[in-house]
Structure formats: C-alpha cells, structure tokens
C-alpha cells in the first residue's frame, strides 16, 4: 500500500554525512569525516565498577520510571558546574536532562516553530540542528559570520526585515563546522541586540570544555538577563556518546513548556543511564578525564595544522581553532569540494564537504576536518594525501580546458 507521508518528510533526506560515514568505516580509510570523540578515553574500567554500584545501591529505582526533568543529583552537578565554569547563574530546577543534545534541539523546535517561521543561524551552521528544526518546516536564514562570531549588523538587518523570526541558533564556542569562537565583545553586542528584539536564543555548547589554550569566555547564558537564552550541554564529548545523556538549561516559561513536550516525546531519559553517570561523577573526577581528552586533542590539532601548513597549497586557507574537534578549510570559489572528496576517497582519505553546512546551499568550496579521532601518524598521512589532491585540483582549474571539465 502506498502510504502518504507527512509533508515534512519531503525535506528530510539522508544526509551527506551519513552516506560518507558508511564508506569511512572501512579500516584502511583515514577518516576526518566523523564528529566522534576518541573511544580510547572512554572510562571502560571505571564503568564496570559504576555498573555494579549503580545496580547494587540504586537498586530498583534505576529501572523504574523517573521524573521527566531528570535525576536530581545529576541536575545539581550540572548546575553547579555551569555556574563555576561558565559564570552562569542557573538553579538545578531549571535543568532538564535530555536524551542527547539532539533531543534538546527537537524539543525547542516543537515548542517554538510553526511552519514558515524564521530560524536565524550562523553561516555555516551545524547540520544536526538544521535536521532537527527541519521537521517543523521553518525558513532558515543564514547570518554571515567572521572570525569573531555573527556579524551584528547583518543580524540586525534580518531582524528588521522579518516578522516571523522565532529563534536564533548559535554555537559560540569552537563551532561545528568552523571551529571558530565568538569574541567577548561580539557576545555582548549580540546579547544587547537580542534583548532589544526579544528573540529566544539557542546556545549549543557541546565543545566548550575542550579549550586547548586562551581564556574561557562567558557563555551567552551567563550574559542573559531576560531568560531568552536556552543552553544545551552534553556528556557526549567529555564522557561518552552512547549513553545519550545531555541537558538543557532554560528559564520560565520555556522550561515548563519543554518539560511538557519531552513527556510526550519519550517520558524521560533512561533512568539507568542517568544514574550510572551520577554514580561515575560521585566515584571519579570527570575533570581528569576531560584534561586527558583535551591534551590528546590539542596534540592532534597541532599535528594537523602543522601538516596542513606544509602540505596544502597557499590558495587554500583554514581556521586554527583554540579548542573543539573541527577545523574548516576554504578553497578558491570555483572548486567544488564534493569533486575533491571523490578523489580523496579513491586514496582512502575522507572529510565532509562544506555544502551541507549551509542550510540554503550554494557554497561548495569549503570542507570540514575532524582531528579528534585519528592517531597522529594517520593525521600526517591523511593530510599529505588531501594536499596532493588539492594541488592537482588547483593545477587543473588553472588550465582552462580542465577547469571546464571539472565543473
């Protein structure tokens, strides 16, 4: 029988990344495509003790329904940490445990977006957020960004031109895909502007703890006086992603609405998962684990940047992130990175072409590199292979006949 799907399914397509990730699972492939944390830092041994203790001491509670808001000790830990590390002033009562940050994004879409509403986002922006909001059929408007964050004049122009702006989605720390971090001044200007326009802001902060150097900057949430900022945080990048435990910090009345909607979505996040995490936090020091991850990623970034400086032709520019997991490469405008990827895959090296990070499309001369998962020798080797392909592509495009052929 031909089933008539909802209209929103027309816009949901299998993503580029998903298709690329399938190819990159082959062991001979050097993949800079994923966004995964490095599994060698998962606390497997510790988790054995945690499992035993959670089920012995937590007992039956660990397997029962629990409240939609989440496990209280975990919410307390999160609030305390946000307040000490990010300068926020949140209370545990305003923390909702979600099944991954992805769910936080979906819940926000569910309470704010009607079909045709406008979502403002950075250009480029995180693909997963676009996917989550897409289900509510909004219009995405990209706001140009520079090395300091969203360009304020451009943002204001869009706010003035559109009456249906419902939310602004941003990743101010070590953005996915660009690796950029907003400056303090830009954060302050941004908050001043959203305060005047009173538009809710979704501050996605999965990478904030992975700062390699420089001073940590206050979160937008910490600069918010009006309860406009909803902040999303996660254990996926600093602990492990399989647990699907993340959180959302929001003020009234957004908080209450999100809780209501979460109840209809999955009642609550896995009780056992939440209690295992809480037990881990009680038995061990997560900061040690984070420090270990940070050190490893810093070295890998250094190796990658050094290799790129050596191997990439001078026409190719890229960001040098102070933290996080990604860096962002720009090629001359006429080179399409999907074509470059095809050639790279033939040489067993992969990345994600940048086109998918622009919700309205049209920009094909960028790509994203992940440096967190590959060991250092493989990073050097992979970058050398990409460098060779880039040199070829540039040489061909310089010769007019071949330029036409490659387009």
Footprint on residues 70-109 left by another protein (CB under 8 A): 98-100, 102-103, 105-106
Among 26, 80, 93, 114, binds another protein (CB under 8 A): 114
- Under the binding rule (CB under 8 A), the answer on residue 388 touching another protein is no
- The burial class, CB within 10 Å (0-12 / 13-18 / 19+), for 76 is middle
Identity of the residue, 231 or 254, whose beta carbon is nearer to another protein in the bound complex: 254
Q: How far is the CB of 197 from another protein (least distance, A)?
A: 5
Window 193-212: residues binding another protein (CB under 8 A): 195-198, 200
Q: How far is the CB of 80 from another protein (least distance, A)?
A: 24
Phi-psi region of 227 (alpha: psi -120 to 50; beta: other; left: phi over 0): left
Window 231-290: residues binding another protein (CB under 8 A): 240-244, 253-254, 257, 259-261, 263-273, 276
Q: How far is the CB of 360 from another protein (least distance, A)?
A: 16
Q: How far is the CB of 127 from another protein (least distance, A)?
A: 10
Among 55, 151, 384, 403, binds another protein (CB under 8 A): 55
What is the distance between the alpha carbons of residues 178 and 354, in angstroms, rounded to a whole number?
10
Among 86, 96, 113, 305, binds another protein (CB under 8 A): 113
Contact range with another protein by CB under 8 A, out of 74-82, 131-139, 328-336, 370-378? 131-139
Tell me the CA distances in angstroms from 129 to 107, 152, 291, 364, one per residue in order: 11, 21, 28, 20
Residue 330, SS3 per DSSP: strand
Window 149-168: residues binding another protein (CB under 8 A): 159-164, 166
- Under the binding rule (CB under 8 A), the answer on residue 26 touching another protein is no
Retrieve residue 363's tokens.
């920009």
- Under the binding rule (CB under 8 A), the answer on residue 135 touching another protein is yes
Among 227, 313, 332, 387, binds another protein (CB under 8 A): 227
Contact range with another protein by CB under 8 A, out of 6-14, 146-154, 295-303, 353-361? 6-14
- Under the binding rule (CB under 8 A), the answer on residue 7 touching another protein is yes
Pairing assessment for the beta strands 326-330 and 317-318 based on DSSP bridges: antiparallel
- Under the binding rule (CB under 8 A), the answer on residue 299 touching another protein is no
CB 67 within 8 Å of CB 269: no
CB 90 within 8 Å of CB 250: no
Q: How far is the CB of 269 from another protein (least distance, A)?
A: 7
CB 126 within 8 Å of CB 206: no
What is the distance between the alpha carbons of residues 329 and 326, in angstroms, rounded to a whole number?
10
For 372, phi then psi, to 5°, come to -85, -20
Buried b (16+ CB within 10 A) or exposed e, 301-335: bebbbebbeebbeeebebbebbbbbbbbbbbeeeb
- Under the binding rule (CB under 8 A), the answer on residue 356 touching another protein is no
Q: How far is the CB of 385 from another protein (least distance, A)?
A: 26
Number of residues that bind another protein (CB under 8 A): 98
Of 109, 111, 89, 107, the closest CA to residue 98 belongs to 107
Among 5, 28, 213, 361, binds another protein (CB under 8 A): 5
- The burial class, CB within 10 Å (0-12 / 13-18 / 19+), for 253 is exposed
- Under the binding rule (CB under 8 A), the answer on residue 60 touching another protein is yes
Q: How far is the CB of 201 from another protein (least distance, A)?
A: 12
Give the count of beta carbons closer than 10 Å to the beta carbon of residue 294: 18
* Chain Cα centroid distance, residue 307: 25
Identity of the residue, 138 or 353, whose beta carbon is nearer to another protein in the bound complex: 138
Residue 91, SS3 per DSSP: coil
Q: Note the residue count of the chain.
A: 407
Identity of the residue, 50 or 341, whose beta carbon is nearer to another protein in the bound complex: 50
Q: How far is the CB of 211 from another protein (least distance, A)?
A: 23
- Under the binding rule (CB under 8 A), the answer on residue 306 touching another protein is no
Retrieve residue 92's tokens.
């545990």
Element (H, E) at 156: helix 152-161
- Under the binding rule (CB under 8 A), the answer on residue 68 touching another protein is yes
């Amino acid at each position: 029988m031909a089933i008539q799907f909802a209209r929103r399914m027309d816009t949901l397509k299998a993503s580029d990344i998903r298709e690329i990730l399938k190819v990159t699972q082959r062991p001979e492939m050097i993949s800079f495509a994923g966004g995964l944390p490095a599994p060698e830092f998962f606390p497997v041994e510790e988790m054995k003790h945690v499992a035993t203790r959670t089920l012995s001491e937590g007992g039956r509670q660990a397997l029962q329904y629990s409240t939609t808001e989440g496990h209280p000790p975990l919410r307390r830990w999160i609030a305390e940490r946000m307040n000490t590390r990010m300068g926020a002033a949140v209370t545990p009562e305003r923390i909702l445990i979600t099944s991954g940050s992805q769910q936080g994004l979906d819940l926000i879409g569910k309470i704010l977006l009607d079909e045709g509403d406008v979502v403002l986002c950075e250009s480029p922006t995180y693909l997963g957020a676009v996917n989550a909001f897409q289900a509510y059929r909004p219009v995405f408007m990209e706001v140009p960004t520079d090395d300091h964050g969203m360009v304020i004049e451009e943002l204001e122009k869009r706010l003035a031109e559109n009456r249906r702006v419902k939310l602004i989605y941003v990743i101010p720390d070590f953005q996915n895909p660009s690796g950029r971090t907003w400056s303090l001044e830009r954060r302050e200007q941004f908050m001043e502007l959203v305060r005047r326009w009173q538009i809710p802001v979704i501050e996605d902060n999965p990478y904030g703890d992975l700062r390699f150097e420089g001073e940590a900057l206050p979160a937008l949430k910490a600069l918010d006086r009006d309860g406009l900022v909803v902040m999303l945080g996660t254990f996926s990048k600093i602990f492990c992603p399989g647990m699907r435990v993340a959180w959302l910090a929001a003020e009234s009345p957004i908080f209450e609405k999100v809780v209501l909607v979460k109840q209809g979505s999955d009642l609550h996040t896995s009780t056992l998962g939440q209690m295992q995490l809480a037990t881990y936090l009680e038995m061990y020091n997560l900061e040690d684990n984070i420090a270990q991850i940070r050190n490893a990623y810093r070295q890998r970034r250094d190796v990658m940047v050094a290799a790129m400086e050596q191997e990439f032709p001078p026409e190719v520019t890229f960001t040098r992130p102070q933290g996080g997991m990604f860096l962002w490469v720009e090629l001359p405008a006429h080179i399409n990175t999907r074509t470059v990827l095809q050639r790279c895959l033939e040489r067993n090296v992969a990345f994600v072409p940048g086109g998918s990070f622009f919700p309205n499309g049209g920009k094909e001369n960028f790509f994203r590199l992940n440096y967190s998962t590959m060991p250092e020798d493989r990073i050097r080797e992979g970058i050398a292979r990409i460098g060779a392909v880039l040199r070829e592509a540039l040489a061909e495009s310089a010769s007019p006949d071949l330029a036409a052929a490659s387009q």
